[in-house]
Amino acid sequence: MSSDLIRDVTDATFEAEVLKAEGPVLVEFWADWKEQSKAMAPVLDDAAATHQGKLTVAKINIDDNQETPARHGVSSIPTLLLHLRG
């Protein structure tokens, strides 16, 4: 579903991989059952490839990881959040 350039993050790794990242991180909150989430895959793949080394692209599955979306006020999916300097 996503390229090798896109990181899969979890509730357990979100702080280290997103909030404490040195550069900007674009995070998609997604679910496998949501067609719009699947439609975002090529867009995220392109962003990851185009901005490799300047932008980290990550995804977090909201079904498997419910704490992080709740903490960030995610109420619909897909939701994209851009974290700058953590």
Domains of the chain, each with CATH number or no CATH: 6-83 (3.40.30.10)
Place of tokens 């550069």: 23
Per-residue pLDDT band for 86 (boundaries 50, 70, 90) equals: low
Kindly report the pTM of this predicted structure. Answer: 0.91
**Non-local CB neighbours of 78 within 8 Å, separated by 6+ positions:** 28, 29, 30, 34, 36, 37, 40
How much of the chain, in percent, has pLDDT values that exceed 70?
A: 97
CB 22 within 8 A of CB 34: no
Instruction: Select from 27, 53, 24 the least CA-distant residue to 40.
Output: 27
**What per-residue confidence (pLDDT) applies to 1?**
43
At 50-75, the pLDDT tens digits run: 999 999 999 999 999 999 999 999 99
Per-residue pLDDT band for 2 (boundaries 50, 70, 90) equals: low
CA distance 30 to 17: 17
